[in-house]
Chain A
């Protein structure tokens, strides 16, 4: 047993390695993740990689995930449309989904709510809901695919994000549009510019021809049918056009940032 341990991570202070890995892990799950990490560390050792500068499996997995961001950006075809469906295909009831109960979903007063606009844009004025409702809207019936694996077909109506970005004079050469939301613990999520400019990416104000209910993100959600569901933030309160990667609620916990469909 002692010998096995030596074989696992020679030259690396095990305590430090584990402490390092534990830092950014979600609580309940740390142990299994690290077990796997240690044996992979051993494998890398066998292949002769240098593990002295605090190698950890988590770091390697993060690097691969970044690599996968790049691969997905290459695969992404701005002209490929997410398949659309007839209204009869809409999933009923469409599931509420969040990291909190529906009773804890934000209750936003549409009268006082304003969409804040920041960053690399010409016009930083805030938008009231009535002003946003005046803009031309389009409807889409597309499949919402959750990172968990399940999917549901829904109908969303709203303003194409690229039209709005044009309207506010956003620098579309910037890398990201970063959304901040009213969810508890402060949900946020970055959206890469090519996806933000996709024809089907939308600022949604309606679900199934009705004003977006609280469960689905009233007063405004972003709908990105070319990405997994967690990249479609609800209860949006601000957007920022930026070149900086500002992270996101789930992205920071390990979900792949691009998460394209």
Chain B
């Protein structure tokens, strides 16, 4: 009897050890790959008609010229969109978004930011996100939705003209698309630095534990 109880407990503890389930890991890395393709080809497209007084160095762009970059951008967009849709549906259906990302409170974000900056933030339990993580992860999901919608608004300003109008017209949608990219790149920099500072979080996103 007691042996059975022990193995049950073991089973439960092994199960509890899985920090990132396989579907999250698969979608995360697919998204990372698609996003890098989209951003690098997007920079090359930006260079054809810059919104600001700078262009991106061709050493960090993809496609070689506008035509090549557009081919990459409009190919990788399918990967990004399909992968992103599966992620949103799974996140809602499994309750992962609600469980992991909510609630977010201003007080919690402030106290966790202070704790992070003074080196007092605990990383003992990686299955539970701190308030800063929750805010950044929820935020980047929203920006991710916005960048796809503003992209569709730029791509089809006649067929999807109501969507384009929602962004304030074609020209405004280009700026929204650009600033969403800037937000995502800023997130990626912080995200990668923090993952490297807490390597077991990176391990969890690769092997699950």
Contact = CB atoms under 8 A, between A and B. Distances in A.
B65 A26 contact: yes
Contacts of B154: 149
Contacts of B72: 36, 61
Contact of A83 (B64, B158, B174): B158
Contacts of A146: 49
A226 interface: yes
B158 A80 contact: yes
A147 B66 contact: yes
Interface residues of B, number: 29
Contacts of B75: 60-61, 64-65
A255 B58 CA distance: 19
Contacts of A28: 64-65
Given A82-B158, A149-B48, A225-B158, 12 more contacts: A25-B64, A26-B67, A32-B68, A33-B64, A61-B72, A82-B161, A145-B157, A148-B66, A255-B70, A256-B74, A260-B159, A261-B156
A64 B71 contact: yes
Interface string B43-64: 0011011000000001001111
A147 B71 CA distance: 12
A162 interface: no
Task: Tell me the interface secondary structure of chain B in the complex.
Answer: helix
A260 B68 contact: no
Q: Which of B68, B154, B171: most chain A CB closer than 10 A?
A: B68
A150 B154 CA distance: 11
A29 to B, nearest CB: 3
A82 B160 CA distance: 10
A36 B73 CA distance: 12
A171 B140 CA distance: 51
B78 interface: yes
B159 A76 contact: yes
A128 interface: no
A260 B157 contact: no
Contacts of B156: 75, 260-261
A225 B157 CA distance: 10
A31 interface: yes
Contacts of A36: 62-64, 72
B170 interface: yes
Contacts of B171: 151
Q: Which of B65, B70, B158: most chain A CB closer than 10 A?
A: B158
A82 B165 CA distance: 12
A78 to B, nearest CB: 11
Contact of A61 (B33, B71, B161): B71
A250 interface: yes
Nearest to B33: A43
Instruction: Give the top 6 A-B pairs by smallest Cβ distance, nearest first.
Output: A29-B64, A254-B67, A32-B64, A149-B49, A29-B65, A33-B64
